[in-house]
Amino acid sequence: MRSKKTPAKKIQFDPIFGNQLVAKIINGCMLEGKKSVAAKQIYRAIEIIAEQSGKDGVVFLTEAIENVKPTIEVRSRRVGGASYQVPTPIRPERRDSLAVRWVLNAAKARSNNPTRTLADKFAAEIIEAHENTGAAIKKKLDVHKMAEANKAFAHFRW
């Protein structure tokens, strides 16, 4: 039997923009507990986004992350000795975390040019996500295609 659910951690708003999404991105970007280093990179990326787009950086970032959020995913479900990929809707908290994770992973996977910092890569990925292109959007579309392909097993949803 499963134990009781652990309460969700309250993420504090970031100190500069007062935005919870920016705080989540900083936490996702952080390596080895170096939050100040991650914050500098993300804030620099938001500045780059604002320069290139001519809009407010945080608003642009929010719109881009909204484009990356998936609405449905597949989960393995074992029925009668066989495993099926069952499409299920995603909770809002998980949608946020998946979108942030996909954008950060896509930014980190961009070309390993030594002159480009994570801020440059992240800004480029956010701009592409805002235009519905890029690796993070491709990941979202792959997840949606997989769910669409397995629609026949939707009746196994628990």
- Flag whether 11 is in a domain: no
Q: How many domains does the chain have?
A: 1
Q: pLDDT digits over 87-144, tens only?
A: 889 999 999 999 999 999 999 998 877 778 899 999 999 999 999 999 999 999 999 9
In this predicted structure, what is the pLDDT of residue 34? 95
Which CATH number characterizes residue 56's domain? 1.10.455.10
- How many of the other CB atoms lie within 10 Å of CB of 102? 24
At 75, is the secondary structure helix, strand, or coil?
Answer: strand
Q: Are 32 and 76 in contact (CB under 8 A)?
A: no
Give percent of the chain with pLDDT exceeding 70: 97
- Flag whether 85 is in a domain: yes
In this predicted structure, what is the pLDDT of residue 158? 62
Q: What's the rounded mean pLDDT across residues 3-18?
A: 89
Confidence of residue 1 (pLDDT cuts 50, 70, 90): low
Structure tokens at 64: 């881009």
Give percent of the chain with pLDDT exceeding 90: 66
- Flag whether 5 is in a domain: no
Q: pLDDT digits over 44-67, tens only?
A: 999 999 999 899 999 999 999 999
- Flag whether 127 is in a domain: yes
- Flag whether 4 is in a domain: no
- Flag whether 54 is in a domain: yes
Domain range holding 104? 20-156
DSSP 13-80: PPTTT--HHHHHHHHHH--TT-HHHHHHHHHHHHHHHHHHHSS-HHHHHHHHHHHH--SEEEEEEEET
- Flag whether 69 is in a domain: yes
- Flag whether 3 is in a domain: no
